[in-house]
Homo-oligomer: A and B are copies of this chain.
Amino acid sequence: MKKHNFSAGPAILPSTVIKEAARAVANYQGMGLSLLELSHRGPEFTAIMDEANSLMKEILELPDNYKVMWLTGGASSQFYMAPFNFLNQGETAAYTDTGTWASKAIKEAKNFGNVSVLCSSKDENYTFIPRGYRIPSTAKYLHLTSNNTIYGTQMHKFPKSPIPLVCDMSSDFLSRPFDPSPFGLIYAGAQKNLGPAGVTVAIVREDMLGTVDRVMPSMLDYRTFVNNNSLYNTAPVFPIYVSMLTLRWIKKSGGLKAMQRKARARARVLYNEIDSNPLFKGTVAKSDRSQMNVCFVMEEKYAALESEFMSLTKENGMVGLKGHRSVGGFRASIYNAMPKSSVVALVDLMQEFAKRKA
């Protein structure tokens, strides 16, 4: 049976990428050796790294003063590495509290300087993206979370800011074009739109570097990665290779404009069904709905049907649809690699279920 993978991450990857990655593990380019066994300093991986970097720059249209870093430790490590690299004790950074991960980023930043939380939707279970806050021009940077995986909200427009933006884009990275120039740092765990778990991309604007005076271990200093092309130590070879394959796929598929067009089409089909189906309802403000993570629950009077519908989705080859415990119900993660046909299969099932039950 065809599987429909709605997992929030690690998540669906393009099927051509999976096939090529499996071949590389078995025997890289017919060399008689697995990619896993090749030196990270050899010509094969050097070519992979160079291509990954140049595809990233091309696809995101990054100016020359932006440097791509391939890190590990997930976005969770960037929660402390960003303030560690940018914020002196005594200085202030501004944060927006739009979900669980934003709130963790705030907690970690407090270890390194003053944190001013400009807004929060926590009291309403993060069901919307706050607007209308004032951004202090004296703060070192403004931290944003572009898409909130758990709650299913997304920042469709970035705020105009007098200070550099630092943005966790983990769950909508590479799903839409954007102007990089207001950003001092963009970071994203790979395991949504880019690759398997085990690598984190961080893109830094050069003028952000070297502005703090604390003691920095080599592996926590962004400059170590910038100056050594992310090869100061052994890089996570396989996760970077798969990410490079995904970047190739994005380019071949038409780049970020095509990703955005497809994301909009997928999301529209699913949100339309949620809004018109008598059994289901969305959980967040319509204007802030994520095009990557679609959260929905049963209407109150049909609450008892939740587990029955969940079972039905499983019987139909759909995996990863259980909502996060903070929201409940269902979450359909529909990343770049998700075919529209999988979304249509889910919508068909919702319609069929409504016919039977409503």
Chain A positions within 8 Å of B, measured between CB atoms, are: 1-3, 5, 7-13, 18-19, 21-23, 25-26, 31-34, 36-40, 42, 72-77, 79-80, 84, 104, 107-108, 111, 189, 191, 195-199, 215-220, 232-239, 242, 317, 319-320
Contact = CB atoms under 8 A, between A and B. Distances in A.
A36 B8 contact: no
B197 A237 contact: yes
B234 A189 contact: yes
A24 to B, nearest CB: 8
24 contacts: A7-B39, A10-B234, A18-B26, A18-B34, A18-B37, A21-B36, A22-B26, A36-B195, A36-B196, A36-B197, A39-B320, A40-B197, A72-B73, A75-B233, A76-B218, A76-B232, A80-B219, A104-B218, A107-B218, A111-B216, A189-B234, A196-B237, A198-B237, A236-B239
* Nearest 6 CB-CB pairings of A with B: A198-B236, A72-B72, A80-B217, A22-B26, A76-B233, A36-B196
A13 B39 contact: no
Nearest to A38: B10
Nearest to A233: B76
A19 to B, nearest CB: 7
Nearest to A20: B25
A18 B10 contact: no
B19 A36 contact: no
A39 B5 CA distance: 10
A198 B39 contact: no
A165 B226 CA distance: 34
Contacts of A9: 39, 234
B7 A77 contact: no
A268 B75 CA distance: 46
B10 A37 contact: yes
A94 to B, nearest CB: 20
A238 B239 contact: yes
A108 B104 CA distance: 27
A197 B234 contact: yes
A238 B237 CA distance: 11
B25 A76 contact: no
Contacts of A34: 13, 18, 21-22
B37 A237 contact: no
Contacts of A19: 26
Residue in A22, A31, A242, A320 whose Cβ sees the most chain B Cβ within 10 Å: A22
Given A3-B32, A80-B218, 20 more contacts: A5-B33, A10-B36, A10-B39, A10-B234, A18-B25, A22-B22, A22-B26, A33-B319, A36-B195, A36-B196, A72-B198, A74-B233, A79-B219, A80-B219, A84-B217, A111-B217, A196-B237, A197-B234, A197-B238, A198-B237
B25 A37 contact: no
A228 to B, nearest CB: 11
Contacts of A39: 7-10, 320
B37 A12 contact: yes
A236 B263 CA distance: 27
A37 B13 contact: yes
Contacts of A3: 31-33
A236 B70 CA distance: 14
